[in-house]
A and B are shown apart, each in its own frame.
Chain A
């Protein structure tokens, strides 16, 4: 009984997070400015982390835990690179002082 409830709740959460990703995809395609798209892509990544965790619950495995941390790290670095490009036009600059 308990496992059945967990399974059902996990499936419902996966469906809702998928709907959230689809709505965010609309913002990526439609967003009037580039910062809108950057923030939407960042949020899609956070939703992907949640999806990964729910999938790990569904498959009863711990091997996906590294993937969640990995997505978070790559998301952070990618968002900082996009933000620096939008701000200054260069990602790795020569001298910061």
Chain B
């Protein structure tokens, strides 16, 4: 039976962008405010799952042609490389540092290498959450 779900589709098209923007805000705010890689990754996964619920599995596989299992090793590799990278500068494993830079549009900002570790956590959380939920949903 064909169902008419125009309201759900229109609402999702609006809300998915707000969710993705909120997840990126949470990811970047994690240094000085509540947030961080874990909750940011969960929010991104929630936005993608909302789109999967609305548009169906086949359509979304065409829109995002990406195997989410691949995000887990990429995230773990980034997190490990930020730890190994500190050996280059004769520092102990997982040493973190920060610097003040002047960005073109954003002005003065404090950039910390802890954000690269957080990026690894972010990608791993997205990969694991979506792999679990999509492999449960995918059985026939």
List the interface of chain A (C-beta within 8 A of B). Answer: 63, 66-67, 69-70, 73-74, 76-77, 80-81, 84, 87-88, 91-97
- Which residues of chain A come closer than 8 Å to B59, judged between CB atoms? 95-97
CB-defined contacts of B78 to chain A, threshold 8 Å: none
Check A84/B15 contact, CB under 8 A, given A73-B46, A74-B46, A91-B137: no
The reply to whether B22 and A69 form a contact with Cβ atoms under 8 Å apart is yes
Closest to A69 in B: B22
Q: How far is B5's CA from A81's CA once the two chains are assembled, in angstroms?
A: 14
Which 5 residue pairs spanning A and B have beta carbons closest together?
A: A96-B56, A92-B137, A95-B58, A94-B57, A92-B52
Q: Which of B44-71 contact A (CB under 8 A)?
A: 46, 49-50, 52-59
Assembly CA distance A81 to B39 (angstroms): 20
Using Cβ atoms and an 8 Å threshold, which residues of chain A touch B137? 91-92
> Once bound together, how far apart are the Cα atoms of A69 and B49, in whole Å?
18
B105 to chain A minimum Cβ distance, whole angstroms, is 25
Given contacts A63-B34, A92-B52, list 14 more A-B pairs with CB under 8 A. A66-B34, A69-B22, A70-B39, A73-B22, A81-B53, A87-B3, A91-B137, A92-B49, A92-B53, A92-B134, A95-B56, A96-B55, A96-B59, A97-B59
Q: Chain A's interface: helix, strand, loop or mixed, by majority? A: helix
Query: Complex: how many Å from CA A92 to CA B59?
Result: 11
Query: A66–B46 Cα gap in the complex (Å)?
Result: 16
Cα A63 to Cα B39 in complex, Å, equals 15
